[in-house]
Amino acid sequence: MLKKSWKRELPLHLLLLPAAAIVFIFNYIPMAGILMAFERYIPTKGIWGSKWVGFDNFSYIFSLPDTYTVLWNTLFIACMKIVVGQVTPIAVALLLNEMRSALIKRGVQTLIYLPHFLSWTILGGIMIDILSPSSGIVNQMLTAIGGKPIFFLGDNNWFPFTIVISNEWKEFGFSTIVYLAALTGISPALYEAAVMDGAGRWRQTWHITLPGMRPVIILLVTLSLGQVLNAGFEQIFVLYSPQVYESGDIIDTMVYRMGMLSAQYGPATAIGLMKSFVSLILISVAYFLAYRLANYRIF
């Protein structure tokens, strides 16, 4: 019996083999690479030959004043993105839902979804052009109405907000899709009953539409908990410059510069490891909460 099921299942193992091997090489072997975080890593000596230094890399990181700035920047930008990234799509979905002209609604959707599909290279290039303090169109408009030019990408007061808003430009449209799907799932009978009871539009929105969206909102908010340390590497990498490190440098960009540009492999891996570890805990908690609160399962 046992032999038979092995024989029956063998082709299934073979089907999974290529993907399993690739994941092993490119995802699991690098996990062993986190040993570098505890070594004075020298590439020619390799992981097994480099000197073991325990937690030296970690104490080195925490002796750097920049580390605390970077941690704060990461949390600040990521949390702002989460809050704005939840509120905007809900509002937009509600406004779209009230539109009765299918044609205009579809047109609006087509335009607001588009930026999601463009890369940060493209969108970053556009941002740099339009926000340029000398020739950018945004600053030209500002000066035309009597304001002073603002260096959105070079001023530490403006940089984090520029990041959050430009990220919203890329993603808010796409994020509305899930909420719109939730809205279409609300039974029309509820609205009819409410109208019979004399409820106006506002009361319908408050007592039917919003509660109808609640499961999805709870789900997305809990899942976003896992993103608290993800401030968006690609976007910031494209848009930042040394003059805004003070307000815009985040964990991921710091790891990149330390590891890839200054070859401080040990400390860079150590920061990366701490981030992965905290994220792992946050994501696990988020999935657990999503499972308990919204009965969400990945598979």
Partner 1 sequence: MVKESLGRKLFLGFDYTFMILLSLLCMFPLVHVLAVSFSSNAASSAGLVTLWPIGFNLKSYEFVMQNAEFLRSLGVSVQRVLLGSLIQMLLIVITAYPLSMEASRFRFRTAYAWYFLVTILFGGGLIPTYMVIKDLGMLDTLWALIVPSSVPVFSVVLLLNFYRGLPRELEEAAFIDGASLLRTLFSIILPLSLPAIATLLLFSMVGHWNAWFDGLLYMNRPENYPLQSYLQTLIINNDFKATTAEELQMLKSISNRSVKAAQIFLGALPILLVYPFLQKYFMKGIVLGSVKE
Window 80 to 119, contacts with partner 1 (CB under 8 A): 92, 95-96, 98-101, 104, 107-108, 110-115, 117-119
Total residues found in the chain within this entry: 299
Burial class (CB in 10 A: 0-12, 13-18, 19+), 64: middle
Q: Give the CA count within 13 Å in the CB-facing half-sphere of 234.
A: 11
By CB under 8 A, what part of segment 209-228 binds partner 1?
none
Q: Based on the shown chain and the rule CB under 8 A, indicate whether residue 137 belongs to the binding site for partner 1.
A: yes
Angle, CA 255 vertex, CA 254 and CA 261 arms, to 5°: 90
Q: Which of 9, 62, 72, 285 binds partner 1 (CB under 8 A)?
A: 9
Q: Which of 12, 145, 196, 261 binds partner 1 (CB under 8 A)?
A: 12
Q: Which of 29, 42, 210, 278 binds partner 1 (CB under 8 A)?
A: 29
Residue 267 CB, nearest approach to partner 1 (Å): 10
Residue 82 CB, nearest approach to partner 1 (Å): 19
Phi-psi region of 151 (alpha: psi -120 to 50; beta: other; left: phi over 0): beta
Q: Name the one range near partner 1 by CB under 8 A: 4-12, 49-57, 63-71, 78-86.
A: 4-12
Is 138:131 a contact under the CB 8 Å cutoff?
yes
Q: Which of 66, 83, 140, 214 binds partner 1 (CB under 8 A)?
A: 140
Q: Name the one range near partner 1 by CB under 8 A: 10-18, 66-74, 79-87, 156-164.
A: 10-18
Residue 200 CB, nearest approach to partner 1 (Å): 8
CA–CA separation, 115 and 175 (whole Å) = 12
Nearest CA to 265 among 72, 30, 27? 30
The enclosing H or E element of 52 equals strand 51-52
Residue 187's φ and ψ, nearest 5 degrees, are -65, 130
If you search the block for the tokens 């990181």, which residue do you land on? Answer: 61
Residue 268 CB, nearest approach to partner 1 (Å): 6
Q: Based on the shown chain and the rule CB under 8 A, indicate whether residue 53 belongs to the binding site for partner 1.
A: no
Measured from the CB atom, the residue of 168 and 247 that comes closer to partner 1 is: 168
By CB under 8 A, what part of segment 178-197 binds partner 1?
178, 181, 195
Residue 232's φ and ψ, nearest 5 degrees, are 95, 80
Is 123:170 a contact under the CB 8 Å cutoff?
yes
Q: Based on the shown chain and the rule CB under 8 A, indicate whether residue 167 belongs to the binding site for partner 1.
A: no
Q: Name the one range near partner 1 by CB under 8 A: 30-38, 54-62, 67-75, 242-250.
A: 30-38
Residues binding partner 1: number (CB under 8 A): 88
Name the residue type at position 233: F
User: For residue 21, what are its two tokens?
Assistant: 């091997």
Q: Which of 3, 135, 188, 197 binds partner 1 (CB under 8 A)?
A: 135
Measured from the CB atom, the residue of 60 and 237 that comes closer to partner 1 is: 237
The enclosing H or E element of 39 equals strand 39-40
By CB under 8 A, what part of segment 240-299 binds partner 1?
252, 255-256, 259-260, 265, 268-269, 272-273, 275-276, 280, 283-284, 297-299
Q: Based on the shown chain and the rule CB under 8 A, indicate whether residue 147 belongs to the binding site for partner 1.
A: no
CA–CA separation, 174 and 248 (whole Å) = 25
If you search the block for the tokens 């909102």, which residue do you land on? Answer: 217
Q: Based on the shown chain and the rule CB under 8 A, indicate whether residue 201 belongs to the binding site for partner 1.
A: yes
User: For residue 66, what are its two tokens?
Assistant: 């920049």
